[in-house]
Amino acid sequence: MSLDGARRAEILETAATLFASSGFRTSLHEIANASGILPGSLYHHFESKEAIIIELVQRYRDDLDRVAKESLDALHEPDPRSIEDRIVALGEAIAACAIRHRAALILSLYEPPTVAGEELAQLARQMPTAIDAAMLEILEAGRSAGVIRSGIDLTLLAERLCESMLHFGVGVFHRSPGAERVPAEKCRTLLHGVAVRPPAKTALDRSDAMRSARAAIAEWDSHDGDDRIAQLRSVARSELGRRGYEATTMRDIAAAAGLSTGTVYRIFGSKDELLVSIMQRYLDHVSSAWDAVLGSSSSTIEQLDALLWVNINARDRFSDEFRVQLAWLRQSPPTSVDLGFSFGKQLRQLKQLLTAGTRAGEIRLEGSSADTKALSMFELIEMPETIVRASGTRGAHALGRDTVLRGAATRS
C-alpha cells in the first residue's frame, strides 16, 4: 500500500471510531485532529464528511458480501458440519462484521437524515441482500434434509436471522461478559424455540395474556387530548425522523405544522422537551401493554407470545417514533446496553418472567447468565420493521411463534 493509501486507511479507521462514539454530528475538524493532520490536508483524501461515510458504509457492505460468499462457497464443498452449525457459523460471522463496522451500521440504519446527501441516502436504501441469500440457501438445504420444518417462510426466516445478527452491533451489548456466545445462542433459540412443549395456536389466541394485550393495544387509539398538541407531535415525529434530530429546528417543525415558531415554543419550551413528549407517550403505551400482559394469569409461554404481539403492533403503529429513535441513535450512539430511551423496566420484567418459566419447566433458554438471557430475548421478541411491513402484523406474529416459541427446526 502506498503512503497515500496508508494515510487514507488510517483516516477511515479514525473516523469510524469517532462516528461510533459521537454519531453523525462528528465534524471533519474533529476527524482531522484525531488523525493528527490539518483540516486542509484531510481534503486531499476526502472531499467531504459524506464521502468518508460513504466509503465506510461501502467497506461494511463489501465485508458483508465477503461473509456471504465464503458461506456459500463452504456450502458447495464437502463439510462435516451440520446444517444448524452452518447457520450458526454464518450468524456469528454476520454479527462479527456488524461489530467491526459498527459506525457504518449505525450511520446507515434505514435512511440517514436528509442533510446527509442523496448519494448516501441511496446507498442506505440498498439493503444488504447477499447475506440473506446465503442464509436462505442454507435453510433450503436444511428443508430438503428434513432439518427445517415445513410451513415456515424461509425467506422471512433468513431475513429474521440476519437482522438479529446485525442488530448485535448497534449497541454495546457485545462488550458485556459472556456476550461473545450470544449470536450463537440467538440463532439456536430461533431454530429450537424456548417452549419445552410447542404451544397450539388456538390456546395462544385464547389466552388471558392475549386478551389483555389486545385490550391494551386498543387503548392506543384513545384521544391525545389537545388537538393542537396531537397535531404538533405528529408533524414533529415525521420531521425528526426524516431530517434527523440535530438538523431539525423548531422553525422547521412549526412550518410543517402550519404554526408560528412562537406558538410552538409556547406549547413546548424546547426541541428536547418536544422529543421527550413524543417518546414518553410511545413508551407509556408500550409499558402499559407489557404491564397488562405480565399481570395476566397466563403461563410464561402465553405471556411471551402476547409480548410478541404487543411489540409487533408497536412497531407497526409507532413507526414514526421508531424512526425518531433511529435518528437519535445516529446522532448519539449508545454507550450502554440501553438503546436510546431506557427499556430498563421491561428488561427487569422479562428477566423475572424467564426465571419463573425456567423454574416451572415451561421454557429452556441458552445463556451465560440471567441478564444475558433477558437481553437476548428482549431482542428476539422485537420483530424487524421490514418483516412487519412485508408480512403484516399477523404474518410477523406467526413467524415469531414459529421461531421464538416453537423453533424453526424439526423436533426429534
- DSSP classification of residue 402: I
Residue 118 pLDDT > 80, yes or no? no
Asked whether residue 211 is assigned to any structural domain, the reply reads yes
pTM: 0.86
Q: Which amino acid is at 250?
A: M
Distances in Å between the Cα of 231 and the Cα atoms of 276, 280, 366 are 16, 16, 45
Distances in Å between the Cα of 93 and the Cα atoms of 110, 166, 377 are 21, 10, 20
Whole-angstrom distance, CA of residue 180 vs CA of residue 143 = 28
Domain boundary among 47, 66, 85: 47
Residue 340 pLDDT > 50, yes or no? no
Cβ 258 vs Cβ 304: under 8 Å: no
Asked whether residue 277 is assigned to any structural domain, the reply reads yes
Tell me the torsion sign for CA atoms 187, 390, 173, 50: positive
Asked whether residue 284 is assigned to any structural domain, the reply reads yes
Whole-angstrom distance, CA of residue 222 vs CA of residue 200 = 32
Q: Which domain holds residue 10?
A: 1-47
Asked whether residue 328 is assigned to any structural domain, the reply reads yes
Q: What is the mean pLDDT of residues 326-347?
A: 63
Asked whether residue 185 is assigned to any structural domain, the reply reads no
110-131 core/surface letters (b: 16 or more CB in 10 A; e: else): ebbbeebbeebeebbeeebebb
Q: In the numeric block, which cell numbers belong to residue 307? A: 409480548
**CATH code of the domain containing 19:** 1.10.10.60
According to DSSP, the residues that pair with 63 across neighbouring strands are: none
pLDDT in tens, 347-404: 899 999 999 999 999 999 877 688 888 888 988 999 988 899 999 999 999 999 999 9
User: How many distinct structural domains can be found in the chain?
Assistant: 2
Whole-angstrom distance, CA of residue 298 vs CA of residue 344 = 23
Asked whether residue 105 is assigned to any structural domain, the reply reads no
Asked whether residue 239 is assigned to any structural domain, the reply reads yes
**CATH code of the domain containing 247:** 1.10.357.10
Residue of 346, 332, 330 lying closest to 382 (CA atoms): 346
pLDDT in tens, 148-197: 999 999 999 999 999 999 988 776 666 677 778 889 999 999 999 999 99
Asked whether residue 297 is assigned to any structural domain, the reply reads yes
According to DSSP, the residues that pair with 409 across neighbouring strands are: 148
